[in-house]
Structure 1
Amino acid sequence: MSSVDAPTGALTTSSRPADKTVPLIDITIGGLLTQRAAERPDAPALVGTRHGTGERVRLTYAELLDEASRVATAIAASTRPGSFVALWAPNVVEWPIIEYGAALAGVVLVAINPALQRDELDYALTHSRSAVLIHADRAGDRDMAAVVAEVAGAHPDLVTISLSETDRWSAPAADPDVIAAAPTDPTAAAMLQYTSGTTGNPKGVLLSHRSMVNVAKLTMEAVEARPGAGAINPLPMFHTAACVIGTLGPLWLGGTEFLIEKFAPGEVLAVARSADVSILFYVPAILGALLTAQASSDAAAPQFEIVMGGAANVPAAMIEAAESTFGASVINLFGQTELAPVLSATRPGDRREDQLHTVGRPLPQVDCKIVDPFTGEIQPVGVEGEICARGYQQLICYLHDPAATAATVDAEGFVYTGDLGTMDERGYLKVTGRLKEIIIRGGENIAPAAIEETLLGHPAIESVTVVGIPDERLGETVAAVLVLNGPPAADLGAQLTEFARQRMARYKVPARWFITDGMPLTPTGKIRKFQLRDQIAAGRLTELEATA
């Protein structure tokens, strides 16, 4: 029986076939830049800060293509097409320029987190077998050049190039033969992204030109972004949210990317007030900081048409605050690096309940299903299971790891995301947690996300994370870690316990309550729950008395 009821169009199981009515585009990243430069040569394309000088640069599409072509020429002189070229730098304007240049040169760009320590950088270079490393000299107070000098000794064949050595990574002029030989196959690999795993070494996610370009295209179309729009990108460029949605998204629109080198709420708000900007990209930590900064500012709030992002469950109260403060349509995106990175999005015309409490429906051209994590069977509508997706945007493979690839992508081509969620009869998704984060209390499976959403309704709580901690009798028990809006009342633990008991089953109610000044976050804004568990185990968090 089909998963869609023909007369009504309603799903009968949690399996949504791809919407084929919206076309894909078969073009490379370099090809799209070349096309936009031909169409809009004098339009502003990129605004950002030069490495080492702090100079604010504004490039038109013609200038951006020229700079990218000169980068491609220099890269072609250093290595062969198909090689891996690593980029280790913060959000300087050179980052997207090199992204485009690598695409034109036909090499795979290895995006490396500038916060990595020496051994982590060494692992990424060793695992990717990078032929070239282009790096910043500094990121904030960090001497990145010194770290590279230490690591380079273990990689005698690695070509290292500092961004301050401009003539080595950017040729004086573009070589027409190099540009003429730019790749035209959109299925070719374009980028290697490392997952921010919480255990073991990160896996290298290999993504194609086709996946990145079409995710940017379909996401911008889904959220009804207008052509030529300006967009502020404060997200870290080494992650797909920034280098795909935040960079290729404005490229698709023929608009302008305003790249923020180091996130500071006041700077982002000032740029938004002074520039022609209508789109803001966010993760919840960034959006929350902007709302707080604007609330304490005497200046008028900048007005956006679209505020779009995700990376964690976005509280309904934060969505409403962003709408009222910035006058924007707030879009909740969901996905992961392996999906380049967007699977689903809310839409401006969605029902209010969907905008506040779902991650929308899948983008066009992708199949989506919810399966039982243990049996693999498709779940009934509304029943929790693992979210799976199949489509143009999924990873080519985990580099040098066929076993991990086989464990993630099944025989039918579905990517198993590791995220738990539900699908309703219309195909709208709710994310309920991570499969690995499920708390098993006395045999009961508990998803933290639903508890977190409920607890955010208490006026004392600014943010909350729920984790499982060891318990001799039950195996695990539920603990809540809180960031409060102010000093705690003497009986806050008892208040919260009663609040939770009135709203959820007793076995879900946190047995222990802890206070922290701030959640430990990954660079992409996701909460490092394992660090909170470690802090609890080490007695480093203040615990509230849970009974009256």
Structure 2
Amino acid sequence: MQESLWHKDESVPLVDHTVGSLLAARAGEHADAPALVGNAYRDGSQRRLTYGELYAEARQVARALLRLAEPGEFVALWAQNIVEWPIIQYGAALAGVYLVALNPVLRKNDLSYALNHSESVVLVHADRSREYDMASVVASVRDECPKLRHVISLSDWDSWLDSGDEHEPLSDCDTDSPVMLQYTSGTTGKPKGVLLRHRSLVNVAKLTMDTAEVQPGAVTVNPLPMFHTAACVIGTLGPLWLGGCEILIERFEPSAVLDVLRTERADVLFYVPTVLGSLIETAKKTGEPAPRLTTVMGGAAKVPRPMIEAAETLFGASVHNLFGQTELAPVLTMTRRGDTRDDQVNTVGRPLPQVDCKIIDPATGQIQPLGVRGEICARGYQQLVEYLHDPDATARTVDAEGWVHTGDLGSMDERGMITLGGRIKDLIIRGGENIAPAEIEACLLNHEAVAEVSVIAVPDDKWGETVGAIVRLRDRPRPGLRDELDAVCRARLAAYKIPQHWLFADELPTTPTGKVQKFKLVDAVMRGALTQLP
């Protein structure tokens, strides 16, 4: 292996299931086994459903939906992490409609855009999430959405379930049929609608669980936002594949989640680094024995060495770092049990089975030699159907040979291990030199004072762009810290890569899945809204 090309591992088979047929199979095999635990929308009470109960209620949802929509139409779901969310997800799959997963914090303009862009004919919504009056927002946008025929409040859950015809036949779609529309997180601006198929979601969930060696019947805790693929695919369909139980967390509060991990005797925790970091800090402060887990898996940002070591020590778990994107449903690579600590910290592991992967020169399209950074491309079962109503964007992302161009930079070694190098669009071009922010961020995370860091391009009259580093500190800034960080960089990086701008922020703006929104940081720097490091 001399070039950065990974040929798919075909030793692990794909499965031929839709989301609905997999649920039906598990209900037939494990009717009385626990399947789902979560808070009901109406009164916040906890509901615990077996596979038999979950399948029965999902079929009620399917038949209620089929009174309002035809198979192949779009149905939007706008709600927080409540137990009804995965039930509706399963019901939509059984009905053959395409679920549009919406962020519960969307404001009026964004909600209107998503409903119109997707041409949703039904909206199922919560009336309120925390202090947010979602019902009023729905009322204000309804007249702006000409395709929207029906609006269903989750306050009417019981009566809506009873509205379906129990004799209505359910859709018999195939595994290549679309099942879900996901809007990209928006780290660069306007979201695109990513259409995903049954086959992709089921097999990504299966292969992620199998690669992590999670055992059948595992109890999994899912605190991630359900409108994102990490939660509704890995966090929901993952335990479904295993015949396990999903514990859905409505609101993330570290002490409460630690209690859930203990009382439910959980095996698996899904995380983004901010979630995992908060749980570790809280567990250390309480003085109580930390819950024991077998597996901790997640991603969205680089996981520092101390966090991985603390998770393994406190929870006794194997930590798996996942990499992917919505367009890949959403996992491409992951670290395995037995990987070295350096591989856990510095790489995102090897590709999942049944997927080809390569690193190319973004300018020429040629495959890069091993160890040379380029654009990560993938081809396999998990890739998107299309960007809805955007054939040009689809053609730019999926080439004529079926390769998905991720827009992420990385390099590959002889084992197929991928080391990330940031986003192509994040590249800083200083006087003609290309600088990858991820390299500088990885360097700065080695300093004990740095909790998080984001490196951005700052416009400059002389150089075109210069390097700016925005850090979130573990403690208050102290005199001389800027010089310390500068010295860390100078010891490891070429001179042209050293940040010229050093600023700190109490929080870095992120998407709900933990990805830093660099365009917001650039705007804050240009407005002078951030404070210089001393």
| TM-score, length of structure 1 as denominator length | 0.95
Residues in 1 aligned to 2:473 and 2:292: alpha-carbon distance in whole angstroms? 28
Task: Work out whether residues 119 and 147 of structure 2, in 8 Å CA contact, stay in contact via their aligned partners in 1.
Answer: no
Q: Does 1:52 align with 2:51?
A: no
Q: 1:143: which partner in 2?
A: 133
Q: Does 1:94 align with 2:84?
A: yes
- What secondary structure sits across from 1:242 in the alignment? helix
Task: Work out whether residues 520 and 531 of structure 1, in 8 Å CA contact, stay in contact via their aligned partners in 2.
Answer: yes
**How far has the Cα of 1:349 moved from its partner?**
2.0
Aligned positions of 1:177-326 closer than 5 A: 177-178=168-169, 181-326=170-315
Task: Work out whether residues 186 and 511 of structure 2, in 8 Å CA contact, stay in contact via their aligned partners in 1.
Answer: no
Q: Does 1:455 align with 2:444?
A: yes
Residues in 2 aligned to 1:51 and 1:530: alpha-carbon distance in whole angstroms? 35
Q: 1:404: which partner in 2?
A: 393
- For residues 374-410 of structure 1, give each alpha carbon's deviation from its aligned partner in whole angstroms, at most 9, with x where no partner exists: 1111100000000000000000011111111001000
From 121, 141, 154, give the equivalent of 1:131.
121
Task: Work out whether residues 66 and 174 of structure 1, in 8 Å CA contact, stay in contact via their aligned partners in 2.
Answer: no
- For residues 89-127 of structure 1, give each alpha carbon's deviation from its aligned partner in whole angstroms, at most 9, with x where no partner exists: 000000000000000001000001111110100000001
Distance 1:398 1:156, change over 3 A: closer
From 415, 420, 430, give the equivalent of 2:409.
420
Residues in 2 aligned to 1:45 and 1:193: alpha-carbon distance in whole angstroms? 24
Task: Work out whether residues 369 and 388 of structure 1, in 8 Å CA contact, stay in contact via their aligned partners in 2.
Answer: yes
Q: 2:25: which partner in 1?
A: 35
Gaps of 5+ in 2: none
Residues in 1 aligned to 2:473 and 2:251: alpha-carbon distance in whole angstroms? 26
Cα RMSD of the aligned pairs, angstroms, is 1.2
Q: Does 1:160 align with 2:117?
A: no
Task: Work out whether residues 188 and 519 of structure 2, in 8 Å CA contact, stay in contact via their aligned partners in 1.
Answer: no
Residues in 2 aligned to 1:544 and 1:258: alpha-carbon distance in whole angstroms? 42
**How far has the Cα of 1:472 moved from its partner?**
1.4
**How far has the Cα of 1:157 moved from its partner?**
4.6
**How far has the Cα of 1:299 moved from its partner?**
2.0
Residues in 2 aligned to 1:355 and 1:199: alpha-carbon distance in whole angstroms? 28
Q: 2:10: which partner in 1?
A: 20
Residues in 2 aligned to 1:185 and 1:499: alpha-carbon distance in whole angstroms? 55
- What secondary structure sits across from 1:359 in the alignment? coil
Gaps of 5+ in 1: 1-10
Task: Work out whether residues 87 and 112 of structure 1, in 8 Å CA contact, stay in contact via their aligned partners in 2.
Answer: yes
Q: Does 1:505 align with 2:494?
A: yes
- For residues 267-323 of structure 1, give each alpha carbon's deviation from its aligned partner in whole angstroms, at most 9, with x where no partner exists: 111100111211000011111111121121132111110000001122222111211
Instruction: Please tell me the residue identity of whatever aligns with 1:165.
Output: D
Instruction: Please tell me the residue identity of whatever aligns with 1:398.
Output: Y
Task: Work out whether residues 27 and 184 of structure 1, in 8 Å CA contact, stay in contact via their aligned partners in 2.
Answer: no
**How far has the Cα of 1:155 moved from its partner?**
2.5
- What secondary structure sits across from 2:238 in the alignment? helix
Residues in 2 aligned to 1:168 and 1:123: alpha-carbon distance in whole angstroms? 29
Residues in 2 aligned to 1:340 and 1:352: alpha-carbon distance in whole angstroms? 27
Residues in 1 aligned to 2:189 and 2:455: alpha-carbon distance in whole angstroms? 23
**How far has the Cα of 1:39 moved from its partner?**
0.4
**How far has the Cα of 1:536 moved from its partner?**
1.3
- For residues 320-357 of structure 1, give each alpha carbon's deviation from its aligned partner in whole angstroms, at most 9, with x where no partner exists: 12111211100000000000000001001223321221
Aligned positions of 1:346-425 closer than 5 A: 346-425=335-414
Residues in 2 aligned to 1:357 and 1:316: alpha-carbon distance in whole angstroms? 9
- What secondary structure sits across from 1:244 in the alignment? helix
**How far has the Cα of 1:200 moved from its partner?**
4.3
Q: 2:455: which partner in 1?
A: 466
Instruction: Please tell me the residue identity of whatever aligns with 1:447.
Output: A
Range 454-463 or range 300-309, more displaced: 454-463
Residues in 1 aligned to 2:164 and 2:116: alpha-carbon distance in whole angstroms? 32
Q: 1:69: which partner in 2?
A: 59
- What secondary structure sits across from 2:296 in the alignment? strand
Q: Does 1:519 align with 2:508?
A: yes
Residues in 2 aligned to 1:402 and 1:304: alpha-carbon distance in whole angstroms? 44
**How far has the Cα of 1:133 moved from its partner?**
0.3
**How far has the Cα of 1:174 moved from its partner?**
6.7
Q: 2:484: which partner in 1?
A: 495
Task: Work out whether residues 187 and 511 of structure 2, in 8 Å CA contact, stay in contact via their aligned partners in 1.
Answer: no
**How far has the Cα of 1:437 moved from its partner?**
0.3
Range 334-343 or range 493-502, more displaced: 493-502
Task: Work out whether residues 369 and 389 of structure 1, in 8 Å CA contact, stay in contact via their aligned partners in 2.
Answer: yes
Instruction: Please tell me the residue identity of whatever aligns with 1:297.
Output: T
> What is the percentage of aligned positions where both structures have the same residue?
59
Range 61-70 or range 165-174, more displaced: 165-174
- For residues 234-255 of structure 1, give each alpha carbon's deviation from its aligned partner in whole angstroms, at most 9, with x where no partner exists: 0000000000000000000100
Residues in 1 aligned to 2:36 and 2:50: alpha-carbon distance in whole angstroms? 7
Task: Work out whether residues 73 and 171 of structure 1, in 8 Å CA contact, stay in contact via their aligned partners in 2.
Answer: no
- What secondary structure sits across from 2:231 in the alignment? helix
Q: After TM superposition, which residue ranges in structure 1, 4 or more long, deviate above 4 angstroms?
A: none
Residues in 2 aligned to 1:260 and 1:23: alpha-carbon distance in whole angstroms? 32
Residues in 2 aligned to 1:211 and 1:346: alpha-carbon distance in whole angstroms? 20
Task: Work out whether residues 74 and 119 of structure 2, in 8 Å CA contact, stay in contact via their aligned partners in 1.
Answer: yes
Residues in 2 aligned to 1:339 and 1:171: alpha-carbon distance in whole angstroms? 36
Residues in 2 aligned to 1:336 and 1:502: alpha-carbon distance in whole angstroms? 33
Q: 1:175: which partner in 2?
A: 166
- What secondary structure sits across from 1:37 in the alignment? helix
| Number of aligned residue pairs | 533
**How far has the Cα of 1:196 moved from its partner?**
1.6
